[in-house]
Chain A
Amino acid sequence: GESVGLHLPTLSVQEGDNSIINCAYSNSASDYFIWYKQESGKGPQFIIDIRSNMDKRQGQRVTVLLNKTVKHLSLQIAATQPGDSAVYFCAVIGGSYIPTFGRGTSLIVHP
C-alpha cells in the first residue's frame, strides 16, 4: 500500500517569506497528488493538484513541484500571509478514488 510521510509537524515563517511544505510517498504507481489546507475548526479545502505527467503546476501564490524520481512533492507558498496559517496536507492517489493522506504540517505565520 501507499504511505505518505516526510513532513515537519510545524513550520514557522515570517510574513512575506516564502514557505515550502514537503511530502514523500512510497508507491511509484501513484499518479495524482493534491494539497489541502485546513484552517482551525474547518474541514480540509482543496488548494492545488498535480498529475504524474507534470512536474510543476502553479496557482495563485502557490506552486506544487513533483519529483517522481525520488517520490517527493512540495507546496510552495509565495509571500506568506497571516491568512495562510493552517494545517497543510498532501494526499496521494494511485489510480483509485481513495487517497492516502500525510499527517499534515502546521504553518504558523508571524506578523
Chain B
Amino acid sequence: DVKVTQSSRYLVKRTGEKVFLECVQDMDHENMFWYRQDPGLGLRLIYFSYDVKMKEKGDIPEGYSVSREKKERFSLILESASTNQTSMYLCASSFSAPNYEQYFGPGTRLTVT
C-alpha cells in the first residue's frame, strides 16, 4: 500500500513563529505536492516538486517556502506564521508521467493564534 505520512495531525502555533510541516512518501514517487484546504475553497496548490531540490510555485505560494533534499521527503515552511494561514494542509505524491493519480497524506490541521 502506498503510504504518505505527515509529521503532525494537529499543530497550534503563535503568530510570527516559523513552522515546519513534513511529508514522507514510500512509493518512490518523483512528484510531491503541498495543498491547503479551506471550507468552500477546495484544494489549493501551494508548491510542488518534480525532483529532488526542484520546486515550482502553485496557485498560492505567498508566505510559504518548501524544501526537498531527499526524494521521499517534502517540507513546507511557514517563515512567519499568520492567522490567515490557519488551515488544513495536505501533502500528496505521484509518478511523474502524465495522468497518474495523486496519493494523499492524512493532513495537518494548523491553527495559528
> A interface vs B, CB < 8 Å?
9, 31-32, 34, 36, 41-46, 49, 51, 89, 91, 93, 95-99, 101-104
B104 at the interface (CB under 8 A from A): yes
> B interface vs A, CB < 8 Å?
4, 31, 33, 40-43, 45, 48, 50, 90, 92, 94-107
Nearest chain A CB to B21's CB is how many angstroms away? 13
The answer to whether B42 touches A104, judged by C-beta atoms less than 8 angstroms apart, is: yes
Q: Please name all residues of chain B whose beta carbon is closer than 8 Å to the beta carbon of A34 when the two chains form the complex.
A: 101
The answer to whether B31 touches A42, judged by C-beta atoms less than 8 angstroms apart, is: no
The answer to whether B42 touches A46, judged by C-beta atoms less than 8 angstroms apart, is: no
Number of A-B contacts (CB under 8 A): 54
- Given contacts A42-B107, A43-B107, whether A99 and B102 have CB atoms under 8 Å apart is yes
The answer to whether B99 touches A93, judged by C-beta atoms less than 8 angstroms apart, is: yes
Q: Identify which of A32, A41, A89, A97 contacts B42 (C-beta below 8 A).
A: A89
Query: Closest residue to B58 on the A side, CB-wise?
Result: A98
Q: Please name all residues of chain B whose beta carbon is closer than 8 Å to the beta carbon of A46 when the two chains form the complex.
A: 101, 103
Q: Please name all residues of chain A whose beta carbon is closer than 8 Å to the beta carbon of B102 when the two chains form the complex.
A: 91, 99
Nearest chain B CB to A30's CB is how many angstroms away? 10
Nearest chain A CB to B1's CB is how many angstroms away? 11
Q: Please name all residues of chain B whose beta carbon is closer than 8 Å to the beta carbon of A51 when the two chains form the complex.
A: 99
Q: Cα distance A93–B101 when bound, in Å?
A: 9
- Given contacts A97-B95, A97-B97, A97-B100, whether A43 and B45 have CB atoms under 8 Å apart is no
* 6 closest Cβ pairs, A-B complex: A43-B104, A32-B99, A103-B42, A101-B43, A44-B104, A43-B106
Q: Please name all residues of chain B whose beta carbon is closer than 8 Å to the beta carbon of A41 when the two chains form the complex.
A: 106-107
Query: Closest residue to B99 on the A side, CB-wise?
Result: A32
The answer to whether A97 touches B107, judged by C-beta atoms less than 8 angstroms apart, is: no
